[in-house]
Amino acid sequence: MAAVQSKPTVWARFTKYLREARSELRKVSWPNRKELITYTIVVVVTVVVVAIFSGLVDVLATGALNLLRRLGG
């Protein structure tokens, strides 16, 4: 007769998950201070450029729709 294996408890699965997550985080190559500053500047500049582009598209689309409404009405 084979022994019946019980399912691990929720707590055992949770602690195993935390151990594995910690182990994986130790493998991560974290950026140094200079890299972090550079990456942050790149992200901020990208967000500003995309925001300006989105704003211009919004203004142009609104103007075009207003012109069409005036011409049609």
Question: Could you report the per-residue pLDDT of 11-60, keeping only the tens digit for each?
Answer: 999 999 999 999 999 999 999 999 999 999 999 999 999 999 999 999 99
pLDDT for residue 73? 67
Cα distance between residue 32 and residue 20, in whole Å: 24
At 4, list the tokens: 């019946």
Note the pTM of the prediction, 2 decimals. 0.61
Q: Give Cβ neighbours of residue 39 (< 8 Å, ≥ 6 apart).
A: 31
